[in-house]
Amino acid sequence: MEKPNKPGRGRWKLLGVLAVCAAPLIASYFTYYVIKPKGGQTNYGALIDPRAYPIPAMASTTLDGKPARLEDYKGKWIMLKVGPSDCGADCQDQLFAMRQLRTMQGKEADRIERVWMITDDQPLETMLLRVNDGTRMLRAPAATLEKWLPLEQGAGDRAADHVYLIDPLGNLMMRFPKGAVSSDVEKVKRVHKDIAKLLKASAIG
């Protein structure tokens, strides 16, 4: 006669499996943020505690109105920008720099998705769509994004001023400084270095 399973045994097994799956990412964070790089260098982007900023439920859609979520891109690193469809010079610089940052990762580029969450329902210019082919474009409520995404301290700071990084497990984990993802080549190089280190340290995504 088989002995009944002890209460909680299945739960502990499940937690063990989850811990094993998360271990590579935890190790990469430990390597990147605890074991500091040689020469006293530190990360350029600001580390975010993902427990404080889980991806919220939101009625996001593709440009043609089909339901779509950020969670659909789990398994890859996500460079995330937000902002209105009226994409001025700064916005276009961000989108261009995101394309360049992905390309700069070389053979690791396929591990990265670029996502632009558009905060209104206005149509996009045809040329903007063509130039940014490959960027995932979703429409999402501006109020939800504003409540979710952490900002730098200081008057006038907006989520649209930043590019954020989401890890392959769906954790919001980094915010790059205002103007970092832009036409400023030196700043973009520093962002590239952050992303390259994370990709190298991470065994997943």
- % pLDDT > 90, the chain: 74
pLDDT value at residue 42: 77
Name which residue leads in pLDDT, 82 or 31.
82
pLDDT one-digit tens code per residue, 157-183: 999 999 999 999 999 999 999 999 999
Average confidence (pLDDT) over 110-131: 96
| Helix 185-201 vs helix 9-29: crossing angle, to nearest 10 | 140
Angstrom CA distances, 98 to 81, 109, 124, 188, 199, stand at: 9, 11, 18, 9, 16
- Pairing outcome for strands 77-83 and 164-166: antiparallel
What is the DSSP annotation of the chain? -PPPPPTTHHHHHHHHHHHHHHHHHHHHHIIIIISPPGGG---SSEE--GGGSPPPP---EETTS-B--GGGGTTSEEEEEEE-SS--HHHHHHHHHHHHHHHHTGGGGGGEEEEEEE-S-PPPPHHHHHHTTTSEEEE--HHHHHHHS---SSTT--GGG--EEE-TTS-EEEEPPTTTSSS-HHHHHHHHHHHHHHHHH-S--
Indicate if the pLDDT at residue 124 is higher than 70.
Answer: yes
28-32: which pairs have CB atoms within 8 A and are 24 or more residues apart? Answer: 28/198, 28/201, 28/202, 28/203, 29/173, 29/201, 31/201, 32/197, 32/198, 32/201
- Rounded distance between C-alpha atoms, residue 175 and residue 177, angstroms: 6
pLDDT value at residue 165: 97
pLDDT value at residue 170: 94
pLDDT value at residue 203: 73
Name which residue leads in pLDDT, 99 or 11.
99
Q: How high does pLDDT run on average in the chain?
A: 86
Name which residue leads in pLDDT, 160 or 9.
160
Are the beta carbons of 140 and 130 closer than 8 angstroms?
A: no
Conformational region of residue 170, where left means phi above 0, alpha means psi within -120 to 50, and beta covers everything else: left
- % pLDDT > 70, the chain: 79
Are the beta carbons of 117 and 145 closer than 8 angstroms?
A: yes
pLDDT one-digit tens code per residue, 52-104: 999 999 999 999 999 999 999 999 999 999 999 999 999 999 999 999 999 99
Name which residue leads in pLDDT, 70 or 152.
70
